[in-house]
Structure 1
Amino acid sequence: MKITSLTLFYVCFSILCFAQEPRPSVVKVNLSSLALGVYSVQYEKVLGERISFALGVGYRPVKRIPFAKTVERYIDAADKRIDYISLENVKKSESTVGMLHITPELRFYLGKRASAPIGTYIAVFGQYNSFFGKAPVFVDMLYRGVMARVELPVDTQIKTYTGGLMLGKQFRLGNRFTFDWFILGGHYGKVTIHGESKQDLEGYDEQFITDLRDKIIDTFKINEQYLSIDVDKQGVRVENARNLKFLNLRGFGFNIGYKF
């Protein structure tokens, strides 16, 4: 009887301990984003055998664009597919940009032997991005019979709100460390755009203000069905006239994590 009671005690104790065993968590640093000057971390909490929740946050202070020539080629290629504005007259190598992103995601680990947080997973995620900085732009226009170049330093803010799917895989590195590879995914949503150049144009007549607005629309190929533009004695403002769609890729991220 004593042996039976003792056995039952140990069985109940083991079940109780197992039920109260805390689920592991992982804190990660994104190494690939550091190359772009973005400080990005993620916290992942295991919720069950094959499921976890992760929250990522990234920040980049306002500064010059890294790999400016490569980025400029990418923007020029993307520019051809944007039908509401052209970025040809933007001085991209002189532009500055900062950013903040927040990415919550729910991960589902795949395979017969899957055990979160290790293995291949599909992530369902949402993402908020805010890009902010200054972009020098220029227009060439005729003023009182003389061709003049008007340079406008534009304070910009672009925000995106998207959702999507991503494939990834997390590897075990010893007992405590992990390597999390964001392989590839896509996300889709909307984007808001606001650009403002505060200029003192009090010394110019109304005809110049009208001509400047027309020249900006023509130079930057602004489609007023999508973007509204306002030019007055205080400067120039551009922002959404309607909802704009945003499609982008997510992936190629390499993260080192600590599991506890």
Structure 2
Amino acid sequence: MKIASLTVFCVCFSFFCYSQESNSSVLKVNLSALTLGAYSLQYEKALGNRISFALGVAYRPVKIVPFAKTVESFVDAADKRIDYISLVNVKKSESTAGNFGLTPELRFYLGKNKSAPIGTYIAVFGRYNSYFGKAPVFVDMLYKETFARIELPVDTQVKTYSGGLMIGKQFRLGNRFTFDWFIIGGHYGRVTVHGESKQNLEGYDEQFIKDLKEKIIDTFKINEQYLSLEVDKQGVRLDNARNLSFFNLRGLGFNIGYRF
């Protein structure tokens, strides 16, 4: 038992010394994320001359969506390509959003005379993201021959699970610092959607509830093959009716790292 314990200690001590001598670990902060009001850190550990493992953690507190006008233009353009819901009647400039994400990845470093974690690499990664916030929406309808605008502040949660590839390059900045450039990549996966607007509709009759549901489906062009909508006297709820897939790009990330 003592010999086994001593052996484990020697192996761990040797590994620790190797880490100290070779600066095989890097702790990085994503500068690009900071411009969006988010905080993103990544820890990378070299597992050999050509391979490393990295784990990224990202967090953005719930607040107004940054660059609202730009985001609104982007969403309006993307709206034409989404075939299961329309976001036209969402007040995008008043919407709030937060995010928590995890990105584990395995990196393969390329080129001659290069060793992890410095050089050009191809990353195989998985990604989990949870987006949460509030989206003010509205529908216009007739109620008892009177025009009414129904405001529905919707608490939203969107979760994505994906995997993909990315190419990047990490530069040495002196003995202790690095600059890691996420050049370009893509990932494909599935998404789950949940939206809920708690409302007290007890004062309205069943016909109004039915008309409101039909109006929401018509206004937001909800495809009920993909999304399930429920409207009752407690409010409105929207969930997946089936798995939804998505593709997204990953890149243009600029990270400053400290080697140790």
Normalising by structure 1, report the TM-score: 0.92
Matched letter for residue 222 of structure 1: I
Matched letter for residue 93 of structure 1: S
- Partner SS for 1:130: strand
Matched letter for residue 142 of structure 1: L
Name the structure 1 match of 2:257. Answer: 257
Name the structure 2 match of 1:8. Answer: none
Matched, 1:87 2:65: no
Name the structure 2 match of 1:52. Answer: 52
Matched, 1:21 2:18: yes
Q: Where does structure 1 lack aligned partners over 5 or more consecutive residues?
A: 1-16
Displacement of 1:19 after TM fit?
11
Name the structure 2 match of 1:3. Answer: none
Whole-Å Cα distance in 1 between the matches of residues 164 and 127 of structure 2?
8
After superposition, give the CA deviation of every residue in 1:20-75 in whole Å (9 maximum; x if it has no partner): 62361000000001000110000000000000000000000000000000000111
Name the structure 2 match of 1:171. Answer: 171
Whole-Å Cα distance in 2 between the matches of residues 250 and 19 of structure 1?
33
Residues 3-82 of structure 1 mapped to structure 2, 5 A cutoff: 21-22=18-19, 24-82=24-82
Q: 1:83 to 1:18 in 2, by over 3 A?
A: closer
Runs of 4+ in 1 over 6 A off after TM superposition: 17-20
Q: 1:53 to 1:18 in 2, by over 3 A?
A: closer
Name the structure 1 match of 2:6. Answer: none
Whole-Å Cα distance in 1 between the matches of residues 82 and 157 of structure 2?
18
Matched letter for residue 118 of structure 2: I
Equivalent pairs counted in the alignment come to: 245
Whole-Å Cα distance in 2 between the matches of residues 102 and 75 of structure 1?
24
- Partner SS for 1:21: helix
Whole-Å Cα distance in 2 between the matches of residues 192 and 211 of structure 1?
27
Whole-Å Cα distance in 2 between the matches of residues 65 and 74 of structure 1?
13
Amino-acid identity (%): 78
Name the structure 1 match of 2:221. Answer: 221
Whole-Å Cα distance in 2 between the matches of residues 176 and 87 of structure 1?
47
- Partner SS for 1:207: helix
RMSD: 1.4
Whole-Å Cα distance in 2 between the matches of residues 210 and 113 of structure 1?
69
Whole-Å Cα distance in 1 between the matches of residues 18 and 58 of structure 2?
31
Normalising by structure 2, report the TM-score: 0.92
Bigger Rg over Cα: 1
Whole-Å Cα distance in 2 between the matches of residues 77 and 220 of structure 1?
15
Matched letter for residue 21 of structure 1: Y
- Partner SS for 1:222: coil
After superposition, give the CA deviation of every residue in 1:184-205 in whole Å (9 maximum; x if it has no partner): 0000000000000000000000
Matched letter for residue 69 of structure 1: K
